[in-house]
Structure 1
């Protein structure tokens, strides 16, 4: 093979185990006996019949273990790209990654991969684990590598994030850190008993990332699958914690990753109503561009309150989903504090943003109408103050603004009447 010197050294280091994968030198009888010892303790005849059926399926699977030299060569050639990525991300020992990748590639090329994603990749790799016991470890296969093997899709950003998550898991030491990063089936019962109550404190406080909240929901699901009793969970506090984390993301400069965990709609049946409602808060935030809307609302308030020239220049092309009462308060204060030159331009600029809001499907019409009416009423009060103080030019700019607002609000009212 033509490959890098360092990579060739990794292949030579693992030559015996790679040959074992190709030759299929595994004790299949022992694999079957281990399966029987684990599952034949069940009581009813029906359960025993089901186990015997699964045993036959296991025998058939083991008999199909591939020995294809082309698939094997493809695996060790392709892994060099994975190897270079791992080294770049500061993974020191790549042996387990090499062996697991080769097992996955061989299984996939033989058409034996069990593509069932309802319970996550723990069960997706079930056939690979059966075919290559002790050599395949799904901890050393990130989703990005799997998608490349199975679908031919290499996503550099996603893979980088998943490798960083792997490194974070490697560094996890305390029960709390482990429960924040690992799937529940990977964690010893003693660690769960010791750390789960501390995890709940962090969950309720809004201190988990959105991906960690989704992992928490998965682990609640896993606990039922493995019949493991968790401490009582206050789901209203969980939902409030998620909202706190979303609020923190909106108000801070920290970003929610474009590649992130998710729960597919086809998995809904495996989650309780409380778990699913908690996930929907995250899903709605990500799917409905809430991130963008909230950021832009905050930017609107900040700029209009600090520098009108910058606000006039930068806010016109932003996306909004409503004109909120907070934005109204900032708008009326900005208008009151503006000199007559800026007041002259203010209404035209404002209508440029909100003039067609009733025709925009992404803007929440009812709430926006309420805020616009309040702005109109506040402007009426300001106009009377200007007239009483003899500030007729300022009063004229204000009256012009009010007329434009009434036209916008009238359009919304007419649209509502037509719809009714």
Structure 2
């Protein structure tokens, strides 16, 4: 077992810390937000992630997971320090590394023995080298004796999907370790010993390759989503059914079925940020990633296309003025409360701009929506459940495929709606069933 400090208790940091403790390690989670730390000590989880509360409770009770605001003490008491702070996009699309630098320098001011510093945050290629430099600068400032303290920096990217992060961490497809010394590699294998014993594939490589793997993986998945969205748009024009197309494509082992689900565009904390950052890296190095650049633009068009689809379905330009639209789903995907870059933001704002009033419901994202959608708050009512949102509306729009939206009482929905317009932007219903219930049905690519 290893002794680990995880710095940052956001989505990545808290999931990583709790799951590493569940592997049998001793983990101290660190954050400079004292209110968050006090809440965590009381068992209050600040994010919506199925199963995470059970893991936290179990590992805290076992004495393997603790929380503190004292970064220096945590670093000094442990042998591995994970950096898991945010890397928000800067105005130019690049990743903002100010929090990574801040933590790296604090580590440099604190370490008193050999320590492995692990980049867990998603960071641009070359960041591990910068972290080395920042730590070394702080050590040298402390004098000759401190300057001799040894440390290694490791790149260990995360591959967590919101809504299934605990499963993803405990049953990963692979563990990527970018390191420059055998000492660091062996300590990282100790950290992930539970996975090593389960014969999880390990990819051991250098720092730059490990950093590139994360961006390349997310950019490829974003391209795949955008490809099937554009195929869906073409299917609508030629009379094809994109779900049948995707199912047949997915049976090809060279392609695979995952991420071939058309909809209103991708969102969340990873794909938009990581595609922008990777595109920026390409431009900075004189190797433009034109496919990624095109994907970013196409994804934005897809969101706007959904607004036009709704407007056209209700009668064309001007038809949204004075209409009330029921919105089911605001999070960028089900099983999360995360609305970062959610297609719902663009679509809701676009509908309001065209004169619509909205009645919205999401099982988890209502609190976040209250500030994410503050620009249209005067035109938006937050319902207590899906049926209250539907009541009196002129159309129903499904934006997030929560399970409870997959089995609506269609007869009840028809009675509650003022007009029978059903926009299924996640393709979770069958056309003939919805039309048989008396609706005019709209989907994506079929």
The answer, yes or no, to whether TM exceeds 0.5 is: no
Length-normalised TM-score, structure 1: 0.28
Greater RCO structure (CA 8 Å; 6+ sep): 2
Q: Which has the higher helix share?
A: 1
Q: Greater Rg, structure 1 or structure 2?
A: 1
Q: Which has the higher strand share?
A: 2
